[in-house]
Chains A and B, each alone.
Chain A
Amino acid sequence: MSSDFRQARYSEPLLIEKGKPGRVGTSLPPWDEIRDITELLPDDMIRDPVNLPEISEPELVRHYVKLSQMNYGTDSGIYPLGSCTMKYNPKINDKIASHPTLQRMHPLQPEDTVQGVLRMMYELQESLAEIGGMDACTLQPAAGAAGEFTGLLIARKYHELRGDMTRDEVIVPDSAHGTNPASSVMAGFKVVEIRSAPDGTVDLEALGEALSERTAVFMITNPSTLGIFEKNIRGIQKACHEAGALLYYDGANLNALMGKARPGDMGFDIMHFNLHKTFSTPHGGGGPGAGPVAVTEKLAGLLPVPVVVKDGNLFRLDYDRPDSIGKVKGFFGNTGVLIRAWAFIRMMGGAGLTRVSELAVLNASYIRKRIEDVYPVPFRTRDELTKHEFVASASFLKENGGSAKDVSKMLVDRGLHPPTNYFPLIVDEALMIEPTESETMEELDRFSDALLDIATATAEQFSSAPRNSSVARVDEVLAAKKLILNWNQLKEE
């Protein structure tokens, strides 16, 4: 049960606890005509200087280097956080996103000065539509949840334009990502949750009971959060469309299907893509990401403005779209993220993206095969297949005093990022494992070996983990009970 992993363990002070009066971390260009503040602002609007840190450049850099050493990313090792698709982020993508021309390009510049970037955006719109089997695409939403929200606004408007005003419900399976019901409510819908069938797929009977003239949208991800491909998708599609509802594809799990099957061909009307998942852009410790939305022809006119269009050899931003839902974010989306995804698609091509999905599924299935005799997979279909992720249960460890959380902390001690815990909610002590295509067979073996080893741990070993990380087990209950949310509140302690 030993590991040579040791994460850096610094008692790194907060920025405000460092430095000395008078130190600065950067220099400003000269300007001769600095005016007195009383000339610049009315008296009642003047403030005292903000109490920011006073540190030099070397202190600043060392501070963040130390913090980075107390952090774990996909550049550190396997990061099999289920449904988050933590794949490797190619370095060339970062390099082109920080191109000096792009970095200093203003969103209000005339179109003729930004043709190259518009070309990139146009190509990305087209590529995503092709990958999804859809007809039109917007790049505007900043994240997956923002994409869901956008798609649901489109659905709402679609029904309204048809005079179908009674549709105020969105149906989601009980295995859905939490964003699905939350986005539905923000878009003004009521949420109807349906149970999963015993094998984890959509229960057609439950769906049939839930569908009515009030149903606006059925939202699912395919493969589901259990990693199971919905074989009944034709039946689902038929039932939904016959009931007058639209079918929404949550693209969080698209990494399983590229070049194999397309949501558009399955009969979905609306989908979003998570560029920070499937298309390799960094997750940034929580963001930025991007959540483009693609739709079928009948919904194309409803996409947010502007859409990038091609007029002969010129690209332009089309705002003249009378049925558009308007805007969901400032300007055109997270351009710095979009260009990374564009680069990934350009470099991989269609065959490369297909291979991405094959290897993502292979890697996940490989781990499953290695551990499932010990960590059971409760929801299973007859073919015993799962796609790019699967959900195992750690509930058998309860008798040894262990839990999914404890397993995770013991993985931390081996320098392996844990899987998603306690989701989906329908699996007891869930471990949701998604290795992605980026991991070597050797790393998959190391991860599987660690899980098998941990299965024999004692209660004492479980509760004392982690020991090798920057800090020991963090008291999250205390964090919520006694709120300390900035350094002034910390100082008062």
Chain B
Amino acid sequence: MHYLPNDPVAEEMLGKMGLSSMEDLFADIPEDMRVKRLDLPPGISEVELVRTVDKMMKESRGAGDMPMFLGCGFYDHFIPSAVEYVMSRSELYTSYTPYQPEMSQGILQALFEYQSMMSDILKMDVVNTSMYDYHTAIGEAILMAKRMNHRNVFLLPEIMAREKFQVVENYIRGAGIETRTVPFKDGTMDLDALKGMLTGEVSGVYIENPNILGLFDKGAMEIRSIMESRQVLVVGVNPMTLSIAKPPGDYGADIVVGDVQPLGVPISYGGPTAGIFAVSMKNVRKMPGRIIGATKDAEGRRAFAMTLSTREQHIRRERATSNICTNEALTSIMASAYLASLGKGGFRELGLQLASRGRYLAGRIDELEGFRAPAFAGHFFNEFPVSVDVSVSGLLKECRNRGVLAGYDLSRETDLLEGTFTVATTEMHTNADYEKLLEVLVKSREVLL
């Protein structure tokens, strides 16, 4: 009961209130609705909890226990200790939505800095302080596109994570939006096919750059030019790639989505991360989510506050741009502390290193008999598609039995990518990890031949 300071003084408090028992405070709950007791395991001490967690973690393994080359949007990057320390500042992490800006300038400024850095990285004017994740950000983007042009058909890439299709479907069905998928060709979106699909009822197009294969979209630079101006271009990014690659604001994106996870956020079995959501200034009032603005205090000093709250659910209720309230603010701040830690030079250097490692590893795998990497021609960053002349699921299982998580089987996402898996690398990998991967790939294939 060490979280409950009034446990020993409850009687005294009840006495002061003129009550005789705790039961008096619950007299409004009808007897027939009472629960006798909760059927849960009895409480334990902190020591026992630590012991339980240690045991639980021993039943699990992470990237620290075996070489791991899984990606698909989640990358095991190094997190500087200073960034972790910043996240441990409890005045920040135990606060909530800064409804009282005067006593919340710290979190407000930190979020304003996130908006600013992400805005520079994406070359978009306005970034909100987060959606839940990449998946839900795509759903919100399609809803926003409808608010912009009142059209009901949205185009999605044919190759995309199954989960993204499922989340998007749930987000848009209530708004009566229909989706169609644009075929892919040679590892990226088929622009000719897209041209034929851009009819007058189409609200917008979503492209991923890089896509699920890890490849940059070959048509990305052109796509805006084949769309009507009212049609909305939504681009999904891995922000780490924007250390070297052209930002979506430079090729006509109206809305940019993505996930901050690669920017210093632990993979933590899938969350929490934070969804990126960015728009241009002219559309800011149609945007979902929370936005921080700079202003002044009564003494004329620089100050920060939440702004444009009239778009949000607590004011606008059923006419709000979204239902989002609690978001992933702290994770956004973690990403900006990470970006500031890398800084201008470090971000560039890391980006070059990651893309170089990707090239190196793809080249080495491509030299192995029976493997092709990249499996589709194109440019990529730290993740690339591999094809092999044996069963992919069998191969990955054999690799796992030899102590390496070698990649991700894309046939689990779509039948179109049968026979292909992705391999992702980061600065966490050593040369020994690469050699081990190559050795295990060769052995595992031999077993299956």
B112 touches A487 (CB 8 A): yes
B349 touches A331 (CB 8 A): no
Residues on the A chain within 8 Å of B12, using CB: 441
| Interface-side segment among B133-141, B152-160, B190-198, B368-376 | B133-141
Residues on the B chain within 8 Å of A90, using CB: 3
A75 located at the interface, meaning its Cβ lies under 8 Å from any Cβ of chain B in the complex: yes
| Interface-side segment among B102-110, B199-207, B384-392 | B102-110
B321 and chain A: residue at smallest CB distance: A182
**A57-78 CB contacts (< 8 Å) to partner B:** 57, 60-61, 63-76
| Interface-side segment among B41-49, B180-188, B228-236 | B41-49
Q: Contacts A12-B109, A24-B343, A92-B46; is A103 near B62 (CB within 8 Å)?
A: yes
Q: A458 vs B116: C-alpha distance in the bound complex, in angstroms?
A: 41
**A373-410 CB contacts (< 8 Å) to partner B:** 381, 383, 385, 387, 408-409
B303 touches A471 (CB 8 A): yes
**B117-146 CB contacts (< 8 Å) to partner A:** 117, 119-121, 125-127, 129-130, 132-136, 143
A56 and chain B: residue at smallest CB distance: B343
B38 located at the interface, meaning its Cβ lies under 8 Å from any Cβ of chain A in the complex: yes
Q: Contacts A79-B96, A186-B323, A440-B5; is A350 near B270 (CB within 8 Å)?
A: no
B314 touches A70 (CB 8 A): no
Q: Contacts A259-B35, A441-B12; is A412 near B70 (CB within 8 Å)?
A: no
B268 touches A49 (CB 8 A): no
Q: A439 vs B6: C-alpha distance in the bound complex, in angstroms?
A: 7
Q: List 27 A-B contacts (CB under 8 A).
A: A26-B342, A61-B85, A67-B106, A96-B50, A102-B268, A113-B405, A182-B313, A186-B171, A186-B322, A234-B33, A285-B93, A285-B329, A286-B326, A287-B331, A335-B268, A336-B268, A336-B272, A348-B43, A355-B1, A363-B6, A369-B16, A385-B28, A440-B6, A474-B304, A475-B305, A476-B305, A487-B116
A149 located at the interface, meaning its Cβ lies under 8 Å from any Cβ of chain B in the complex: yes
Residues on the A chain within 8 Å of B96, using CB: 79, 81, 84, 86, 283, 285-286
Among B46, B60, B103, point to the contact of A116 (Cβ < 8 A): B60
A331 touches B60 (CB 8 A): no
A284 touches B93 (CB 8 A): yes
Q: Contacts A385-B28, A473-B102; is A327 near B170 (CB within 8 Å)?
A: yes
A285 touches B97 (CB 8 A): yes
0/1 string, B68-103, CB within 8 A of A gives 1: 101011101010101111101111111111111111
A382 and chain B: residue at smallest CB distance: B28
B352 touches A105 (CB 8 A): no
Q: A305 vs B341: C-alpha distance in the bound complex, in angstroms?
A: 38
B348 touches A49 (CB 8 A): yes
Q: A212 vs B164: C-alpha distance in the bound complex, in angstroms?
A: 35
B26 touches A361 (CB 8 A): yes
B113 and chain A: residue at smallest CB distance: A15
Among B68, B143, B166, point to the contact of A326 (Cβ < 8 A): B166
A40 touches B298 (CB 8 A): no
Number of A residues with CB within 8 Å of any CB on chain B: 205
B356 touches A33 (CB 8 A): yes
B39 located at the interface, meaning its Cβ lies under 8 Å from any Cβ of chain A in the complex: yes
B329 touches A362 (CB 8 A): no
B93 and chain A: residue at smallest CB distance: A282
| Interface-side segment among A241-249, A293-301, A477-485 | A477-485
Q: A34 vs B271: C-alpha distance in the bound complex, in angstroms?
A: 31
A101 located at the interface, meaning its Cβ lies under 8 Å from any Cβ of chain B in the complex: yes
Residues on the A chain within 8 Å of B318, using CB: 181-182, 184-185, 191
B405 touches A336 (CB 8 A): no
A365 located at the interface, meaning its Cβ lies under 8 Å from any Cβ of chain B in the complex: yes
CB distance from B199 to the nearest CB of A (A): 25
A114 located at the interface, meaning its Cβ lies under 8 Å from any Cβ of chain B in the complex: yes
CB distance from A361 to the nearest CB of B (A): 5
Q: A406 vs B10: C-alpha distance in the bound complex, in angstroms?
A: 32
A366 touches B26 (CB 8 A): no
Q: Contacts A55-B343, A104-B62, A106-B74; is A385 near B25 (CB within 8 Å)?
A: yes
A163 located at the interface, meaning its Cβ lies under 8 Å from any Cβ of chain B in the complex: no
CB distance from A342 to the nearest CB of B (A): 9
Among A29, A359, A478, point to the contact of B7 (Cβ < 8 A): A359
A164 located at the interface, meaning its Cβ lies under 8 Å from any Cβ of chain B in the complex: no
CB distance from B345 to the nearest CB of A (A): 6
Q: A29 vs B349: C-alpha distance in the bound complex, in angstroms?
A: 11
B379 touches A355 (CB 8 A): no
A428 located at the interface, meaning its Cβ lies under 8 Å from any Cβ of chain B in the complex: no
A325 and chain B: residue at smallest CB distance: B170
A28 located at the interface, meaning its Cβ lies under 8 Å from any Cβ of chain B in the complex: yes
Among B5, B84, B91, point to the contact of A72 (Cβ < 8 A): B91
0/1 string, A19-31, CB within 8 A of B gives 1: 1001111101101
A450 located at the interface, meaning its Cβ lies under 8 Å from any Cβ of chain B in the complex: no
Q: A363 vs B110: C-alpha distance in the bound complex, in angstroms?
A: 33
B269 touches A359 (CB 8 A): no
A259 touches B38 (CB 8 A): yes
B6 touches A472 (CB 8 A): no
Residues on the B chain within 8 Å of A92, using CB: 46, 49-50
Residues on the B chain within 8 Å of A284, using CB: 92-93, 95, 328-331
0/1 string, A421-440, CB within 8 A of B gives 1: 10100000000000001111
B216 located at the interface, meaning its Cβ lies under 8 Å from any Cβ of chain A in the complex: yes
A479 touches B305 (CB 8 A): yes
B78 and chain A: residue at smallest CB distance: A29
**A233-264 CB contacts (< 8 Å) to partner B:** 233-234, 257-262
CB distance from A248 to the nearest CB of B (A): 14
B53 touches A99 (CB 8 A): yes
Can you list the 5 inter-chain pairs with the closest CB atoms, starting with the nearest? Answer: A188-B174, A349-B43, A71-B106, A331-B270, A284-B330
Among A74, A287, A291, point to the contact of B130 (Cβ < 8 A): A287
A104 touches B323 (CB 8 A): no
Number of B residues with CB within 8 Å of any CB on chain A: 201
CB distance from A485 to the nearest CB of B (A): 5
Residues on the A chain within 8 Å of B313, using CB: 145, 178-179, 181-182
Residues on the B chain within 8 Å of A328, using CB: 136, 167, 170
B253 located at the interface, meaning its Cβ lies under 8 Å from any Cβ of chain A in the complex: no
Residues on the B chain within 8 Å of A105, using CB: 60-63, 267-269
Q: A143 vs B328: C-alpha distance in the bound complex, in angstroms?
A: 9
Q: A433 vs B59: C-alpha distance in the bound complex, in angstroms?
A: 43
B94 touches A233 (CB 8 A): no
B20 located at the interface, meaning its Cβ lies under 8 Å from any Cβ of chain A in the complex: no
B59 and chain A: residue at smallest CB distance: A116
A71 touches B92 (CB 8 A): yes
A35 touches B74 (CB 8 A): no
CB distance from A493 to the nearest CB of B (A): 8
Q: A64 vs B250: C-alpha distance in the bound complex, in angstroms?
A: 31
A200 located at the interface, meaning its Cβ lies under 8 Å from any Cβ of chain B in the complex: no
B330 touches A353 (CB 8 A): no
Q: A19 vs B400: C-alpha distance in the bound complex, in angstroms?
A: 46
B120 touches A438 (CB 8 A): no
B25 touches A365 (CB 8 A): yes
Residues on the B chain within 8 Å of A143, using CB: 132, 324-327
B348 touches A326 (CB 8 A): no
Q: Contacts A327-B170, A485-B284; is A471 near B49 (CB within 8 Å)?
A: no
CB distance from B9 to the nearest CB of A (A): 5
B271 touches A334 (CB 8 A): yes
Q: Contacts A101-B61, A133-B35; is A349 near B117 (CB within 8 Å)?
A: no
A109 located at the interface, meaning its Cβ lies under 8 Å from any Cβ of chain B in the complex: yes
Among B121, B294, B323, B325, point to the contact of A50 (Cβ < 8 A): B121
B268 touches A103 (CB 8 A): yes
A50 touches B64 (CB 8 A): no
Q: A45 vs B174: C-alpha distance in the bound complex, in angstroms?
A: 37
A484 touches B294 (CB 8 A): yes
Residues on the B chain within 8 Å of A45, using CB: 216, 220-221, 245-246, 379
A353 touches B269 (CB 8 A): no
Residues on the B chain within 8 Å of A423, using CB: 314
CB distance from A443 to the nearest CB of B (A): 9
Residues on the B chain within 8 Å of A351, using CB: 37-38, 42-43
